[in-house]
Chain A
Amino acid sequence: MKRKWFDWRNIYLWLVFLVLYAPIFYLIFYSFNAGTTMTRFSGFSWQHYAELFADTRMIEIVLDTLLIALLSSLIATIIGMLGALAIYGIKKVWLKNSILSLNNILMVSPDVIIGASFLIFFTFLGLRLGFSSVLLSHIAFSIPIVVLMVLPRLNEMNHSLIDAATDLGATNVQVLTRVIFPFITPGILTGFFMAFTYSLDDFAVTFFVTGNGFETLSVEIYARARQGISLEVNALSALMFLFSLLLIGGYYFIEQYNNSKKARRRNRMGAKLIK
């Protein structure tokens, strides 16, 4: 069958992508504006990028945000993974289900409520609001995400793999490191990246628990937007968009490379067998 380029399904798809991406491109387009508003394009200029790189406060906030995201997702991944292992090991069905429900409640409850309760909790403990309070709260709301990503992988795992490893002489630790971890690694990675992105763009929770001296990107942009948005933010958005594009592209090429390596090896094996 000949593939028609003109197809209602294609048109629909392009339309959806257009609607989704238009605001981003609009934003990026105006980051090159010589003027200072997004209403009129008065000429091309790098001026807002220059402003952004001169703005050390902004750069610092970006780095802080990335640091928080990286640290919180890392710690949340470790805790969430261990939590998933613990839930997997629970024999009593009712207990397992209740813990899972508690986990899910954290996923669906509004960020505002979580943020507010963290604020109350931290002030009650007398913890100073700042880097550590943001980090702790980000870890906390990332853990359920990791659990939800890892648990299905664990459930998918054939239980006799554990028996088989034990049968072959593995201790509990060896079963964990040599059989379970390799098997759930895809789930752990997904959990990590999900936690990372959640932490990066979280506003509501962070808004409650940041103190005076510490800001993350979303909170800072919100604060600046209230005084009329500067095109410096556009420049930052453009750069971050480019950054994620590069990340995804890199991931894609690594995947391709691995696949072709596997295929090449298979071909070599095949050739050997035919000989």
Chain B
Amino acid sequence: MANTIIKFSGVNKRYGDTMALKQIDFELEQGKFYTLLGPSGCGKTTILRILAGFTDASAGTIEFEGKKINDLPANKRKINTVFQDYALFPHLNVYDNVAFGLVLKKTAKKVIHEKVIEALRLVQLSGYEEREISEISGGQQQRVAIARAIVNEPEVLLLDEPLSALDAKLRTAMQVELRQLQQRLGITFVFVTHDQGEALAMSDEIFVMNAGEILQQGAPVDIYDEPINHFVADFIGESNIVKGRMLADYQVEILGHQFECADAGMRVNEPVEVVIRPEDLVLTTVDKAKLTVTVDTQVFRGDIYEIMSHDDAGNEWLIHSVRKTAVGQQVGIYFEPEDIHVMRFGESEEDFDARLESYEDDADEKV
């Protein structure tokens, strides 16, 4: 990669007996929006703190623009952080909060003034300079925190679940704003969240983490469409996961039926797990169906009906449908071969990527 800005190689973090991070390797490119996604306690905030310099890695190297920065203190790094609780200085007003970093650098007063005004304009808080922190709302505090970080013109901006304290509507608005801000500034954002919707909406690339490991890394669409394992499939979006068996390339058996699918490169008769997203399941009549299920519950969500159902083997199927049905009724479900995502047990990310590449080339040749 040409403009790698941050590189983690073999980074470990140990707290007493517990391993918070196990062997983390990744590279971040300049100017992209990255998201570390995972449940609480998965180590995503630890990565952020190691990047910022608040926590030391137990092993491994962290490189910034090609130089090792393990021992560089936080106040010397060209990285700034937006904290989960904003951490605004309560004794300073909005202007002085934003100016804090520049004042420490002994920047000229006039330059500080210009930069602070510009930063506040960027986060749409012009005219709030003289306000006290206690006088502004949570959403505004959040913007001040962002302004305070970006005014220092960092190469990398770290955001530690900065939207978690906002209400749903404001959060959606801020997601769009953050994304736009990142594109305007052209710097690298590393965003930490446990909210998969947020991650999918904002990122160039997502790192899905669990228990101190990065399970999968990729563009939002790839992670959603090709989850590497049960955990990722379950964590990113809602999914129906059933056991199956690979009969041959592009042929999978689920619940005794044989289906065409878009996956290949596995052993014959290999046991696998199959993911089908609820929005890919289409309600149909029993005679046109690929599977037949009985409806258990139906919940109206506004844009869709959320239908819980079960098949004869007792597997549960979640269906998102725009058409409604009736509880207790037998309905057919239909799906396309591309809607079936096959996952092998215990496949590493490298093997997974290699396998996908091998048969995607085949497919290209066939066309």
A242 contacts partner chain B, Cβ-Cβ < 8 Å: no
Complex CA distance for A175 and B58, rounded to whole angstroms: 26
A-B residue pair count with CB separations less than 8 angstroms: 67
B243 contacts partner chain A, Cβ-Cβ < 8 Å: no
Complex CA distance for A169 and B152, rounded to whole angstroms: 9
Number of B residues with CB within 8 Å of any CB on chain A: 30
Stretch at the interface among A60-68, A71-79, A155-163: A155-163
Q: Supply 20 further A-B pairs (C-beta < 8 A) apart from A169-B76, A179-B89.
A: A160-B83, A160-B85, A161-B87, A161-B89, A163-B83, A164-B83, A165-B89, A167-B81, A167-B149, A168-B100, A168-B104, A168-B152, A170-B75, A174-B104, A178-B100, A182-B89, A182-B91, A183-B90, A269-B131, A272-B127
A273 contacts partner chain B, Cβ-Cβ < 8 Å: yes
Contact for B54 among A163, A170, A269, CB less than 8 A: A163
Closest beta carbon of chain B to A161's beta carbon, Å: 5
Complex CA distance for A266 and B87, rounded to whole angstroms: 23
Q: 10 closest Cβ contacts across the A-B interface?
A: A168-B101, A164-B87, A160-B87, A182-B91, A166-B74, A169-B75, A169-B104, A167-B81, A160-B83, A166-B75
Complex CA distance for A231 and B130, rounded to whole angstroms: 56
Provide 13 A-B residue pairs closer than 8 Å at the C-beta atoms, listed in order of the A residue: A160-B85, A163-B52, A166-B53, A166-B54, A167-B52, A168-B100, A168-B104, A170-B75, A171-B75, A178-B100, A182-B89, A182-B91, A272-B127
A265 contacts partner chain B, Cβ-Cβ < 8 Å: yes
Taking CB atoms, residues of chain B closer than 8 Å to A272 are 127
Which has the most chain B C-beta neighbours within 10 Å: A165, A167, A170, A269? A167
Is chain A's interface secondary structure helix, strand, loop, or mixed overall? helix
Closest beta carbon of chain B to A89's beta carbon, Å: 15
Contact for A269 among B73, B101, B130, B149, CB less than 8 A: B130
Taking CB atoms, residues of chain B closer than 8 Å to A170 are 75, 104
Who on chain B is nearest to A164 by CB? B87
Taking CB atoms, residues of chain B closer than 8 Å to A169 are 75-76, 101, 104-105, 152
Closest beta carbon of chain B to A267's beta carbon, Å: 12
Taking CB atoms, residues of chain B closer than 8 Å to A166 are 53-54, 73-75
Complex CA distance for A253 and B80, rounded to whole angstroms: 42
**Chain B 58-89 against A: per-residue CB contact (8 Å), 1 yes, 0 no?**
00000000000000011110011101110111
Taking CB atoms, residues of chain A closer than 8 Å to B135 are 266
Taking CB atoms, residues of chain A closer than 8 Å to B115 are none
